[in-house]
Amino acid sequence: MTFQLALFGHPVKHSLSPQIQQNFAQQFNLKINYQLIDVRGDQLIQKVHEFFDQGGHGANITVPHKQSIMTVTDHLTERAQQAGAVNTLFKKKQQLWGDNTDGAGLLNDFNDKNISIKNKRILIIGAGGAVQGVLPNMVQSQPKSIHISNRTLKKAEKLAQSSNLCHALSDTPINTSFDVIINAPSLGHQGQSPDLEPEWLSLNTIAYDLSYRAAAQPFLTKCKSMGIQQSYDGIGMLHHQAALAFALWFNHIPKQPLNDKFRTNY
């Protein structure tokens, strides 16, 4: 039997998910067909229903539908509720569930890289859907503080309300550098990096971009030019969120990391 899987989003054509999921499936001798379904908002609900009515086994959801898909599901897991976003759909007892594996995927990748955020000072740049999705898991890891910097300060302030560990970063100077800086605005897709203030950085600051490959390059290049020695793109997070989705669909946890052809080194 071939299990039908799909990614719904816009755009989806450059997604690595089909290769990643094929690799996982081979680890367990499972046959899958992972389709990329490019869909705009007004078609999303209909297309998702069609997919599952025709025997779809599970799906991933990506930008820009991670929030709007929440109206389609019968149930949401606790972490999807906390994140306010869904990236994985699975069936249980004929009911459609929405979950979010992004935050756990990020923490699993930190774990692979021996990055501990407990008691650390964190800066997140960006306050969009990607940040909203990972923030609850980051807060649960008990960092010392999470500052959120965003072009639109109000959005950073709104996200920061979720926990007393979080603060919106305004123009007020800060007097200590950050241990970990996470980049999450969609700017990298336009070949740009956000500005970084020298006082944010120390020799030990770790930089991490939630996007991967070309989209992460502008930020990671800037970090290097400012002396940051440890910087990563989000390819590891991508694999981990995919592995957690696979586990929801098949009850098997695939091996991580995958082979080197998927890895990006800086």
- The site for ligand ATR (CB under 6 A) is made up of 63, 126-130, 150-152, 155, 184-187
Q: How far is CA 47 from CA 35, 42, 214, 238, in A?
A: 12, 10, 30, 24
CB of 125 to ligand ATR, least distance (A): 8
CB of 162 to ligand ATR, least distance (A): 15
End-to-end CA distance of the chain: 40
In the chain, the amino acid numbered 155 is K
CB of 187 to ligand ATR, least distance (A): 5
Q: Which of 31, 66, 92, 222 is catalytic?
A: 66
Whichever of 108 and 183 has its CB closer to ligand ATR, that residue is 183
Whichever of 131 and 258 has its CB closer to ligand ATR, that residue is 131
What DSSP assignment string belongs to 150-161?
-SSHHHHHHHHT
Whichever of 56 and 194 has its CB closer to ligand ATR, that residue is 194
Q: Is position 66 annotated as part of the catalytic site? A: yes
Q: How far is the C-alpha of 28 from the C-alpha of 25, rounded, in Å?
A: 5
Whichever of 184 and 223 has its CB closer to ligand ATR, that residue is 184
CB of 116 to ligand ATR, least distance (A): 25
Whichever of 32 and 131 has its CB closer to ligand ATR, that residue is 131
CB of 109 to ligand ATR, least distance (A): 17
* Two structure tokens written together for 238: 């991508």
Catalytic residues, which ones?
66
